[in-house]
Amino acid sequence: MSKQNIYDNDSFYDNFKSNRADSINFNDVIETPIITAMLPDMKGKKVLDIGCGMGQHAMQYVGLGAASVLGTDISEKMLAYARENNSAENITYRRLAFEELAEIEEKFDVITSSLAFDYAEDFGALMKQIYGMLNDGGKLVFSMSHPIDTSYDGTYDRYTRTETGERLYANLRNYAVEGVRRIKWVVDEYELYHITFATLINGLTGAGFIIEECEEAKVPEEISVKYPEKFGGTIHQPQFIFFRCRK
């Protein structure tokens, strides 16, 4: 698996931090409410948060009663922010890439991940690794970019629009071609991995998981009407997909 570490790029990190500071952003408006609603009872649970970023979710889990949270991420900048701004006695942060998760010898009751699995070259292998890190009956709750979204390869605009700029529909290209996508997003050569929906599902079930719930990105109508340029595309294509699975 690739050890891409785009979040330690100064320009990308500063842009990401700026976006998160805006209260009307994709994470807070779409991602966090959905993944939070899918969480199991966190009271007394031992939690692993993969791709913990700035540590917001780790603090959230402690607030929900988690006994302990281990947050892992590859970005030193993200971890430094997390340690400074989202720390608690029962939160530990470690710098680990996906392929280094095997270094963690303990098991967990709940494993979560927020928009990090896009960077996994072998999704199926990662799911098998995570399955083995869960206690029996443990839960995996995660979000990632929707396969429709990751199929975008930058060749054409994401949307076909009217002359006034209104989105008519999303453009889908090379959906069936899996693998790396390199596009311009804040920086040149931003890299992620595209898999089809079938590969996603088979990666979960092939690892042994029972899928309990699946959700797709949606925006409250009042938000999409008020901020059409920012959120108007969600009605044409879901940016994120969410799963809760059981071992």
pLDDT in tens, 204-221: 999 999 999 999 988 777
Burial per residue of 14-27, b for 16 or more beta-carbon CB atoms within 10 angstroms, e otherwise: eebeeebeeeebbb
Q: In the prediction, which pLDDT does 237 show?
A: 86
Q: Which fold has domain 6-145+197-246?
A: Rossmann fold (3.40.50)
Pair of tokens at residue 87: 């720390």
pLDDT in tens, 123-158: 999 999 999 999 999 999 999 999 999 998 878 888
Q: In the prediction, which pLDDT does 1 show?
A: 37
Q: In the prediction, which pLDDT does 167 show?
A: 87
pLDDT in tens, 228-243: 666 667 778 888 999 9
Torsion angle (degrees, nearest 10) of CA 120, 125, 126, 132: -170
Exposure of 187 in the CB half-sphere (CA atoms within 13 A): 15
CB 48 within 8 A of CB 104: yes
29 pLDDT band, cuts 50/70/90, is confident
Domain boundary assignment for the chain: 6-145+197-246
Q: Is the pLDDT of residue 2 over 50?
A: no
Q: Tell me the residue ranges of DSSP E strands in 64-124.
A: 68-73, 91-95, 108-114
Helices 10-21 and 76-85: crossing angle in degrees, nearest 10, is: 40
90-99, 112-121, 176-185: lowest mean pLDDT where? Answer: 176-185
Q: Between these two residues, 214 and 192, which has the higher pLDDT value?
A: 214
| pLDDT > 70 in the chain, percent | 83
| pLDDT > 90 in the chain, percent | 59
Name the one residue in this structure whose structure tokens are 């899996």: 178
Q: Is the pLDDT of residue 85 over 60?
A: yes
The CA distance from 173 to 138, in Å, is: 37
**Amino acid at position 242, single letter:** F
The CA distance from 234 to 88, in Å, is: 36
